[in-house]
Structure 1
Amino acid sequence: MNSAQLHEDAIVIDGLVIAKWDRELFEDMRRGGLTAANCTVSVWEGFQATVNNIVEMNGLIEQNSDLVLKVRHTDDIRRAKAEGKTGIIMGFQNAHAFEDQLGYVQTFKDLGVGVVQMCYNTQNLIGTGCYERDGGLSGFGREIVAEMNKVGIMCDLSHVGAKTSEEVILESKKPVCYSHCLPSGLKEHPRNKSDEELKFIADHGGFVGVTMFAPFLKNGINSTIEDYVEAIQYVFNIVGEDQIGIGTDFTQGHGQPFFEWLTHDKGYARRLTQFGKIVNPEGIRTLGEFPNLTDALLRNGFSETQVRKIMGENWVRVLADVWGE
């Protein structure tokens, strides 16, 4: 089958989208043929503000039920595919919303949260992000990992420091992920992962979602979809065809104030990084252009089976393992 047919037939999952949630975005997800996406509902927010974000997302899902549905189980991902909708997996990019309450892990699972990143760039009660000296996983962090394993929430390590990441990988009884990362072998950056780190997570049953966030790509804002495929190929060569997927980090619809909030500690304190201009790679500038990625992977020598795995099947398998269904 040709690339358009394959894309239409395949399960397509984006392991990380942090876009401006509205109907226009959901329509673009449908244009792109997305079966499901891990959608960020918490970064710097504490418990209450995160609950408010979930309430808002629930309302949006309800108002746009012709386009999207809420994902709690992998069966919901398959249902989204069957119904021609996009499944919304609610995820956090920071465990800050758990505050110092172990019981909040179960509470958020009950609200539909499926993936939680342990830290976002800086230190929290669990461990250390990638932009400061890494003190590793705390005692409370170990409890949180065990609780996330128990209730079925996936541990994400994309913005987490190397030492904390290693200790979470060793501590977790379930697969963990870098939901959206790039290899430092192609570009040295605090957010990118070394060959050793990529191999370590894969060797311990973990999962790597490859991002296309331009500041972390080799050619920055001049990158094209070919640069993205090069990064996918690089990671593929290290982790193999069963432990790799997509995690674009689409920030569609957001303006500069949003990036200012993201790049300051806690959203308001010290500046952590400066992205400069944000331009997605040419050929996949919007979620609606997702079919171009299937085409580019096929053109670059990936087999149909490998493309199906990378585009979504691997995500479904690993989520089923963590979620227990």
Structure 2
Amino acid sequence: MARIIRFHELGGPEVLRIEDVDVPAPGPGQVQIRVKALGINRAEALLRSGNYIETAPLPSGLGLEAAGIVEAVGEGVDGFAPGDGVSIIPPISMVRTPAYGELVAFPAEYVVRHPPSLSWVAAAAIWMQYLTAYGALIDIARLQKGDFIAVTAASSSVGLAAIQIVNMVGATPIAITRTAAKRQSLQDVGAAHVIASQEEDLEMRLREIAGADGVRVVFDAVAGPIFGPLTAAMSSGGILIEYGGLSSAPTPFPLPAVLGKCLTLRGYLVHEITRDPARLDAAKRFILEGFASGALKPVISRTFPFEQIVEAHRFLESNEQFGKIVVTV
């Protein structure tokens, strides 16, 4: 028997339940992991509330990230053995392979030996945020030294990962946050510039920072009315990569800027990277090299024990966090 977290109805954090279940042995190609820590992502809150790109068959498990110790391996698995310390690449479907549990099984291709210097908490906070930022900025936008990059929702775990990756390649990260409350914290983790979008003129500040050439890459999780000032401050031939939709307001199509500057507006999901073995291998190398050099380091906002999963989700939805929320098992 092992404890897992499931929900039997859609709703707020209170629908999450801890249940005891019989856990089968790992199937062919699977690695069974004794979980030590879970990374918490906004996607899980969206699935739980019925607003995710995937529909949850009730009752449903959930979860995209975990770190722990290999308990057993299924038939045909090479390269892993009981006792190995590992972490999990976010799967394509969290309802088919949920991570919220004491004992979970994942396809071997989504299991990684993380650097032994990382704690369980840090190891559970790697892959979703750094793969998301890498895929957008390095794989798609081909970030280069000297580029100006605008990062919205900058205090999120993905936003902070993006700031670190931008600095790693010698470009200039411009962090965009709602108020000035997190300005110093963002500067402390490497933001060259911080703009409080509710307190400052966003377009004007971006133009002041990036100069005549403008912002070449925008990495946006918000959408909504912010599209106007963001695209107005972009450079000719620039690219806006949209990976979220935190704003509940309609998103206008900025036709004059798109036509006048030949802009690319591009939707993006981390699945583009994780479902492509060659691109995933390149991403893992880049990220692991970043950890080895010290250029990348996950920022942990707060940890909760497994028994406080409801409180962890409430904190996630409060938008008070700065960095990653992790649950320890």
Q: In proportion to residue count, which structure has more helix?
A: 1
State whether TM-score is above 0.5: no
Larger radius of gyration: 2
When normalised by structure 2's length, the TM-score is 0.30
Structure with the greater relative contact order (CA < 8 A, sep ≥ 6): 1 or 2? 1
Higher strand proportion (structure 1 or 2): 2
Q: TM-score, normalised by structure 1?
A: 0.30
